[in-house]
Structure 1
Amino acid sequence: MNARLSGDEKRGGACGTDNAGLTTSTGPRPRRRPPVPEESHLLKNAAIALAAAGTLLLASCGSSTAPSGGGRSVVDAAPCARSTAPEAQGMPSTERIFGWIEDLVGIGYRRTGTLEGEKAAAYVKCQFESLGLQDVHYETAKSWNWSATRSRLKVNGEAVDSFPVAHTYVTLDQPSVFSTGPDGLTAEIVDVGAGVPLQSVQGKIVMFDLKFLMPPALLALQIEFLWDPGLTTLEPTLVIGNPFVTSYATAVERAMEGGAVGFIGVLSDYFDSNKYYNEFYRRTQVTIPGVWVTKKEGARIRQMMGGGNRSANLVMEGFRKEATGRAVVGFLPGKSKDTIMVQSHHDSVFYGAVEDGSGTAAVLAQAQYYASQPAESRQKTMMFATFDTHFSGYQVHREFVRKYVIDKETPYNIVANVTLEHIGKQGIKGADDQLEITDKPELRAIIENMGPTLKLGMINSVIRHDLRRTALISGHVLCPIGALPTDAGFICAAGVPTASLIAGPNYLYDAADTLDKVAKDDLVPVTKVFIDLIDAIDATPTALIGLPLKSPLYESGAQD
């Protein structure tokens, strides 16, 4: 092997990059630039050959694209060797952090229960190992993999561009194969606009406008500090909702209660795309099929219904199967088993450059920095973890919290959590509802319930590293009531003091979440701000880190 490292080897240490990125669930993806979905069919044959070659080259690394000759699966591959490359030591550069994001995006749609999802977990495991973390392993839980293999909508016989609503048409708590039949179901549309069905809709297809209910301004009362020297946050987006909290559950539950056989969700608050892949809302198991349409297509449907004919034909076929969800966990020992946890999620619904390639890369950046420090410099043990099941029910998160925090089945006493998500550029609805990306980072929050000294330290660090458009938001109420809208929601509700970085750009659940949306210039400043915080937590007596208020929902079992 040549002594000179390639760019990929510099990023991944002994692992390099996983050529799994050349073949995805939707076809091949070029590297080093944002993927373009329409290219997939053009490069498919070449990618298959390249992926096969990459498998042979990288099989010894432990993150190969297919089972090795010994019969190992992707997730059971041999451990990766510790990297001694200079680039794998100390503070990682912007390009190295961005390279990790490129690698994850290159894997494809990293959905729980797919080969791409397994490759993402194996990739993180290999990076942890190559950076020198110890006891690197998976924590698993049963989850779900949902997929629509066929979907179509016609209104009054005219085709309407639509996209299947994720996690619909399921059998309660069971795996299933679902189908409306080859000809689909035909029924009358009942249009309830921005409301919910107030009367029987037995045998009907309900159409409703999906509303985004949580604008950044809603958290204004909880803001403790905002670093925005240019006052750039005083703009209309402050009162525009993000895709996290919506009217979906209420509208669909009322439709099912009223006897609806299907639904059409109009993305009235979204930019001009129907590729909205929602999370699985655990308490809303949707047993009827549904599709998303854009605001423009919704207006066209309503125009077609103006003549009195309200017939829709909805086709949906697919399956939901049990799947293994995985967290990847690794440690750096300290002088005590009191443990600082650094967390994100590695799964995605499409390419997931911002959600959450950026968050996973931020965890890797922390892991590289702290693995380069002498063990005797740490008062506390450090744990690094990335999860999947973020979009399929959070089963791994819940099982992890049960094992490590509630039932304390391990020697690690998790005394603080740092969660890193969504280092992205601002997305706005521009002219004609087109998605526009600005040169500003999306307004972000550090939602935290730390003690006063640590709060002050975070404020000083945000200013020192000039992490603009960043607010500190109190989590002292949000955590105990189980309302923290981040990947740290369950561990914070379990009483672990938490600082959770989050932003809500409008493209997060969309195929538009590609590499060009990452706020590259913020990758290193974010890393430095949270190094400062982790160092301060490490030096703080455990009893002074924060007030460990556990949600009463854990006592009642409502978190399950």
Structure 2
Amino acid sequence: MTHRRPSCLTEEMTVLKTCARAAALAGLLLLAACGSGEGGGEAYDADGKCLRDTSAEAQGMPSEDRIFGWIADLTRFGNRRTGTVGGQKAAAYMKCRFEALGLEDVHYETATTWKWEATRSSLRVAGEAVDSTPTAFSFITADKPSVFSTGPGGLNAEIVDVGLGVPIVKDVKGKIVVFDLKFLVPTAALAPLMEFLWDPALTTLLDPSLSVLVANPFQTTYETAVQQVLNAGAAGFVGVLADYFNSNKYYNESYHTAVTIPGVWVAPKDGKRIRALMKAAGDKPTANLVMEGSREETQGRAVVGTLPGQSLDTILVTSHHDAAWNGAVEDGSGAASVIAQAQYFASKPAQERQKTLLFTTMDSHWTGYQVHKAFAKKYITDKLTPYNIVGNVTIEHIGKQGIKDADGNLAVTDQPEFRGIFENLGPSLKLTMINGLIKHDLRRTALLQAHLLCPTVGIPTDAFACVAGVPTASLIAGPNYLYDEADTLDKVAKDQLVPVNRFFAELVEAMDATPSALIGIPGISALPTAASLRE
């Protein structure tokens, strides 16, 4: 029943040539299909590569408007989930940017991952429609492609409220369960890892919203609660986003739990409404849950390009280009920052680089990180390429602060979201980062110690290289709109784009000048990782 969706990017070399030949015949139509027409009128050579950009704007550190323009381009592709047209366009766009800036050996690395899509979804409680969004990666057949459906009339069953859902003490077998999803980790919980904080105005402590005490949507009770629901034999579930602002457009990542029943998210206000409807309906209220869609294998992509140095000791600069929705902050800002770093270093004479620079952005961020894992295995663990990766920087989420207002709605301030740089670098590079935070006024930014996290549980960023044993500095922020369709261009902290990229460019230069063995702390960064111990 499932099938692989045809794509103009299925086989990179064949398709690039096909796109080039077809472009001569079909012009703009094909360019749109290959994801290039929306990026700004790129030109291609006979081999289908983007022509080199020799304009003045393509030299040195890009301007704020130029970086923001790349973010805007990415958001125009629509949702960039892996396997979608928007996701394919994003990968093609990143590849074109690398080529236009003169990076060498620009290509895709691929891995098989999953595309999950709900084409129809609705919820009625006690006969009344309730606004909802399908819970991503639910209603699947574990480890198999599938087409799922609750049937023509949907799932009709008694609906039961289990509160937090841990433990479930009610009989819910064959029923639809309502539970509260809770967010677990507030910013303040990172305090034990803090090595340095640049916040000269003390905004983190004096914030009237007390946002440092509010948990962000990254780590939640989802796996625990849903596993309880599954174990109890429920037929479906309704997750109330109890700690969220008033939205149900929450797109969760693919968790380890194989969620084999349908589920939907509802906003906090609709959770209250559901419980009022249940109470008014009497002893055995009923609900109707409809979900139809599919889960199929698809090809995930990493876009890779290099700037050779005098040695094959290599510094990796990375982020991800996919997104749950249109993703301006998550992670248009990160992908655009990788382009910014590529432009800055491509403008410098090659003889100034002691080490090779390897730039990459990836997808499968939402679908299980298969591309990240395959890349780490090939380039770091198994060392199947010439590159000896000795350092890594990862850049994500340059966004404004999001808070809940008094009515429970999303409000965005003009200051940057509190952010952390997880790092396990050596002492001289720690000092470089501290000086850089002050020099570039990266306010509300903390250095977070990751020496013990990297070889054990990892860090909550896309810095897969850290888990594979590479000394890393990884920027991350967790604004509350990060997994929501509300992550739009107005949420980008535009005034921070250049300072953040100058900070990381200087860090990469310092890594380049540091003996490879001293980028991390000898004897600590080289500890066997949790991943390697499992293999």
What TM-score, normalized to structure 2? 0.90
Offset from partner CA, 1:162-210 (integer Å, 9 cap, x none)? 1100000000101100000011111222212124243352112111111
Specify which structure has the bigger relative contact order, considering alpha-carbon pairs within 8 angstroms and separated by 6 or more residues.
2
Q: SS state of the match for residue 329, structure 1?
A: strand
2:131 partner amino acid = D
Distance 1:376 1:275, change over 3 A: same
Mapping of residues 442-461 of structure 1, within 5 Å: 442-461=417-436
Q: Distance in 2 between matches of 1:77 and 1:198?
A: 60
1:365 aligns with 2:340: yes
1:315 aligns with 2:290: yes
Q: 2:493 corresponds to which residue? A: 519
2:415 partner amino acid = K
1:454 partner amino acid = L
Q: 2:242 corresponds to which residue? A: 268
List structure 1 runs of 4+ shifted beyond 6 angstroms.
56-59
Q: Distance in 1 between matches of 2:307 and 2:420?
A: 28
Q: Distance in 2 between matches of 1:330 and 1:220?
A: 37
Q: Distance in 1 between matches of 2:149 and 2:469?
A: 43
1:179 partner amino acid = S
Post-superposition shift, 1:295? 0.7
1:229 aligns with 2:206: no
Q: SS state of the match for residue 283, structure 2?
A: coil
Q: 1:421 corresponds to which residue? A: 396
Post-superposition shift, 1:557? 3.3
Match of 2:261 among 288, 302, 308: 288
Q: 2:355 corresponds to which residue? A: 380
1:506 partner amino acid = N
Q: Distance in 2 between matches of 1:305 and 1:512?
A: 30
In the alignment, is the contact (CA less than 8 A) between 2:165 and 2:228 conserved in 1? no
Mapping of residues 53-68 of structure 1, within 5 Å: 54-55=28-29, 63-64=36-37
Q: Distance in 1 between matches of 2:344 and 2:330?
A: 22
Q: 1:43 corresponds to which residue? A: none
2:348 partner amino acid = Q
In the alignment, is the contact (CA less than 8 A) between 1:54 and 1:65 conserved in 2? no
What CA RMSD, in Å, does the superposition of the two structures yield over aligned residues? Answer: 1.9
1:535 aligns with 2:509: yes
Distance 1:62 1:242, change over 3 A: closer
Post-superposition shift, 1:482? 2.6
Q: Distance in 2 between matches of 1:178 and 1:309?
A: 27
Post-superposition shift, 1:77? 7.9
Q: 2:534 corresponds to which residue? A: 557
Q: 2:177 corresponds to which residue? A: 206
In the alignment, is the contact (CA less than 8 A) between 1:280 and 1:392 conserved in 2? yes
Post-superposition shift, 1:58? 7.6
Post-superposition shift, 1:313? 1.0
Q: SS state of the match for residue 312, structure 2?
A: strand
Q: Distance in 2 between matches of 1:93 and 1:286?
A: 45
Post-superposition shift, 1:556? 4.0
Q: Distance in 2 between matches of 1:461 and 1:391?
A: 31
Offset from partner CA, 1:394-424 (integer Å, 9 cap, x none)? 0000000000111100010000110000000
Match of 1:108 among 46, 65, 78: 78
Q: 2:275 corresponds to which residue? A: 302
1:88 aligns with 2:58: yes
Post-superposition shift, 1:63? 2.6
Q: Distance in 2 between matches of 1:555 and 1:395?
A: 16
Q: SS state of the match for residue 255, structure 1?
A: helix
In the alignment, is the contact (CA less than 8 A) between 1:62 and 1:78 conserved in 2? no
1:134 aligns with 2:120: no
In structure 2, list runs of 5 or more residues that go unmatched.
1-25
Q: 1:26 corresponds to which residue? A: none
Q: 1:484 corresponds to which residue? A: 459
Distance 1:58 1:247, change over 3 A: closer
Q: 1:504 corresponds to which residue? A: 478
1:198 partner amino acid = I
1:296 partner amino acid = K
Q: Distance in 2 between matches of 1:57 and 1:339?
A: 34
In structure 1, list runs of 5 or more residues that go unmatched.
1-51, 67-73
Q: SS state of the match for residue 138, structure 1?
A: strand
2:186 partner amino acid = P
2:260 partner amino acid = T
Q: Distance in 2 between matches of 1:127 and 1:294?
A: 39
Q: 1:464 corresponds to which residue? A: 439
Post-superposition shift, 1:553? 2.5
Match of 1:409 among 355, 359, 384: 384
Post-superposition shift, 1:117? 0.7
Q: Distance in 2 between matches of 1:482 and 1:55?
A: 47
Q: Distance in 1 between matches of 2:112 and 2:386?
A: 24
1:163 aligns with 2:163: no
Q: Distance in 2 between matches of 1:424 and 1:197?
A: 37
Distance 1:551 1:256, change over 3 A: farther
Q: Distance in 2 between matches of 1:557 and 1:206?
A: 36
1:125 aligns with 2:77: no
Distance 1:280 1:519, change over 3 A: same
Match of 1:339 among 307, 311, 314: 314
1:170 partner amino acid = I
Q: Distance in 1 between matches of 2:100 and 2:166?
A: 52
Offset from partner CA, 1:82-140 (integer Å, 9 cap, x none)? 11100001110000000000100111111101111111000000000000100000000
Q: Distance in 2 between matches of 1:550 and 1:112?
A: 33
In the alignment, is the contact (CA less than 8 A) between 1:58 and 1:64 conserved in 2? yes
Identity of aligned residues (%): 64
Q: Distance in 2 between matches of 1:295 and 1:58?
A: 40
2:362 partner amino acid = F
Post-superposition shift, 1:320? 0.4
Q: SS state of the match for residue 321, structure 1?
A: strand
In the alignment, is the contact (CA less than 8 A) between 1:189 and 1:312 conserved in 2? yes
Q: Distance in 1 between matches of 2:510 and 2:137?
A: 42
Q: Distance in 2 between matches of 1:398 and 1:77?
A: 30
Q: Distance in 1 between matches of 2:47 and 2:250?
A: 34
Offset from partner CA, 1:296-350 (integer Å, 9 cap, x none)? 1111111112133421111100000110000000000001000000000000011
